[in-house]
Structure 1
Amino acid sequence: MTDISATAGVLPRAAADRAARTRLAYLDGWRGLSIALVLIGHFFPVPGINLGVLGVEFFFVLSGRLMGEILFIERFPLKKFFKRRFSRIYPALLVFVFAAMIGLAGTFIAFKWKAALTALTFTYNYAGIFVNRAGALDHIWSLAIEEHSYVILALISVVVSGRANVVRLLVALSLLAMANGAISYWVLGMDYETSYWRTDVHIASILLSAAICLLKADGRLSAFLRNRHVALAAAAGAVLLFLDPVPTPVHYLLGVPLLALAVNTLDHAGGYLTGLLSSRPMVMLGLWSYSLYLWQQPFYKFVYDRDVTPIPMLAAVFACALASYYIVEKPARGWLNRNW
């Protein structure tokens, strides 16, 4: 999501370029792992754990880390930041919504115009709970939270001075959001979607990861927590906390902080994990991840609601996603970034 390397100011140019490429490949690998979990969880569900939910949480904590770097460490100009967010997100989303609406006309998951409008205005996570929804758009709840987080973090970067104050605010807001989710689910008896589709609950995943990112950048994250064995244990513990028998609020009260810690501290884990995340298949999955995320939902609905064979549906996901990435997402982003 950003081409700027945190090492560029202290390393010779060639070494900095190599470090930037390695770092970006590694982060794309995280995206690749996240979308792989979503696809496996939707098309080949594993009993006992919802890998789709876990994959979305990986996306959120990775987004928090990247936004922390871009807005508070690199101090990316906000005008350019929002232009780049728009150029990356909106063209592919617009084409997906209208193409899917036309393609699904008359099917059992036919679109609803009001739901499409809320998807395009990033209000689906609330409208899907309280107003109107369409199954083929249900995944847009998470994109809406992501977009809301961009605005909130950008406002914090303008209003709050001093990184220590920023971290305190991010942690405080995260704790309030996590408590809000637990109260909604346990005390008020709301279901998963009514509790955890809301930005005022689920933004904790993004804000907490951004806070850990800043603590690490400022050297205020303890050496114990930065130890690669601890980071690997945190990742493993987070996965266990997302098992089905674990109550939903515990996923977010304990599992998300462990995921956020892992994503922020596993950069130099070395060995098999780093090799896997930096491998070409994972990097390519990461590059395609947004288009895959958009297009998997309608085909997943065919598998889930109509018991259609998953392999052809997954092949269709990749066909549509690759067309979206190479015909819409990548060219539109490049053109807008050059000319806007």
Structure 2
Amino acid sequence: MSEITATQMVPSRSVVDRSARTRLAYLDGWRGLSIALVLIGHFFPVPGINLGVLGVEFFFVLSGRLMAEILFIERYPLKKFFKRRFSRIYPALLVFVIIAIIALSGTFIAFKWKAALTALTFTYNYAGILVTRAGALDHIWSLCVEEHAYIILALISALVSSRNRVIPLLLTLALFAMANGAVSYWVFKLDYEATYWRTDVHIASILLSASICLLKAEGRLPALLKGPYVALAAAAAAVLLFMDPVPTPIHYLLAVPLLALAVNALDFSTPIFSSLLSSWPMATLGLWSYSLYLWQQPFYKFVYDQGISPWPMLAGVFACALCSYYLIERPAREWLNRNW
């Protein structure tokens, strides 16, 4: 220890900054891949597979990995964690709902006030099943699941300090959620929305990924489940299992765990993947991903329900999303993070 100088122990600021930039670009690339799958699946559907659903699952398993790192490995302060989540998500969501209420009034996907309120209170995934829904808001179910997962994981991180206890707890909750979905769909014959919009079912995707992330951090993930080739094989198998002929519960019983493994098996330093995912197109798509996610739904509904050409609708998505990102999302986040 005495032979190691302080300079050797503490990396230079430039090294840290470069590492952070690479890591951020890599993560944005994952988000870029996820939103690209959603957009392709909605506007240019591929026969035999719902790429939109696959893209949402990529978002979930990536979120599970990130939340595990932030809450259980870095032990990020919870007060600051929720402030940053709010500053990133809520301003753009609020503006989207207000503008869409005004702009879509009188159209076939006209907003309903009750549905808008449930979107803004992150209860749409249950209210959309039990009370009321609006087509242009249907995508908010996935945002609700993620917000609920933030709260649940934050509570677990506050109440359970030992990772040796956290991992079995997360795995147990994930298995219960997966079984809950299978029983709801197969036994009670509920449809897709009534089953897989619910947090008590779909949180499994986030919890599984978080569990695998923590197993890897603890050095308890078997060597056979690590590395880029394992990640590629797992991702390929998951895509095959998401094909339409495969029963829906199998997507979530088998394919989602494989996606969670794929996201966690890759290291940020794997050259072939980090260079692709850190590329400007993928990283930029990732930066815009939340605003694209918000604004794609109403335009998608016009294509899906009215048969309008997808190209002008996709152009509309990007126009609205870029305005949202540069005029609302980024400035609001920066201002709130700086002043709150």
Q: How does 1:67-106 map to 2 (within 5 A)?
A: 67-106=67-106
What residue is the counterpart of 2:29 in the other structure?
A: 29
CA–CA separation in structure 1 for the residues paired with 2:292 and 2:305: 20
CA–CA separation in structure 2 for the residues paired with 1:269 and 1:303: 40
SS of equivalent residue, structure 1 residue 329:
helix
Q: Which one-letter code corresponds to 1:328 in the other structure?
A: I
What residue is the counterpart of 2:162 in the other structure?
A: 162
TM superposition score normalised by structure 2: 0.96
CA–CA separation in structure 1 for the residues paired with 2:256 and 2:93: 27
Q: How does 1:36-55 map to 2 (within 5 A)?
A: 36-55=36-55
Give the C-alpha shift of residue 21 in structure 1.
1.2
Q: How does 1:294-333 map to 2 (within 5 A)?
A: 294-333=294-333
Q: How does 1:65-214 map to 2 (within 5 A)?
A: 65-214=65-214
Contact 1:68 1:210 in 2 (8 A): yes
What residue is the counterpart of 1:60 in the other structure?
A: 60
Deviations 1:103-133 (A, max 9, x none): 0011111100000000000000000001000
Aligned pairs, number = 332
Q: Larger radius of gyration, structure 1 or 2?
A: 2
CA–CA separation in structure 2 for the residues paired with 1:305 and 1:271: 43
Contact 1:228 1:269 in 2 (8 A): no
What residue is the counterpart of 1:222 in the other structure?
A: 222
Q: Does 1:236 align with 2:251?
A: no
TM superposition score normalised by structure 1: 0.96
Q: How does 1:241-320 map to 2 (within 5 A)?
A: 241-268=241-268, 270=270, 272-320=272-320
Deviations 1:278-307 (A, max 9, x none): 100000000000000000000000000000
Contact 1:228 1:268 in 2 (8 A): no
Give the C-alpha shift of residue 271 in structure 1.
5.1
Q: Which one-letter code corresponds to 2:39 in the other structure?
A: L
Deviations 1:200-220 (A, max 9, x none): 000000011011111111111
CA–CA separation in structure 2 for the residues paired with 1:80 and 1:106: 41
CA–CA separation in structure 2 for the residues paired with 1:296 and 1:46: 17
SS of equivalent residue, structure 1 residue 249:
helix
Give the C-alpha shift of residue 274 in structure 1.
2.8
CA–CA separation in structure 1 for the residues paired with 2:142 and 2:279: 27
Deviations 1:296-327 (A, max 9, x none): 00000000000000000000000000000000
SS of equivalent residue, structure 2 residue 49:
coil
Contact 1:68 1:214 in 2 (8 A): yes
Deviations 1:163-211 (A, max 9, x none): 0110010000000000000000011101111010000000000011011
Deviations 1:213-241 (A, max 9, x none): 11111111111111221111001111111
Q: 1:222 to 1:101 in 2, by over 3 A?
A: same
Give the C-alpha shift of residue 15 in structure 1.
2.3
CA–CA separation in structure 2 for the residues paired with 1:241 and 1:227: 21
Q: Which one-letter code corresponds to 1:117 in the other structure?
A: L
Q: Point out where structure 2 has 5 or more consecutive residues left out of the alignment.
A: 1-8
Give the C-alpha shift of residue 23 in structure 1.
1.1
Q: Point out where structure 1 has 5 or more consecutive residues left out of the alignment.
A: 1-8
Runs of 4+ that moved beyond 6 A: none
SS of equivalent residue, structure 1 residue 203:
helix
CA–CA separation in structure 1 for the residues paired with 2:42 and 2:286: 18
Q: Which one-letter code corresponds to 2:141 in the other structure?
A: W
CA–CA separation in structure 2 for the residues paired with 1:10 and 1:124: 47
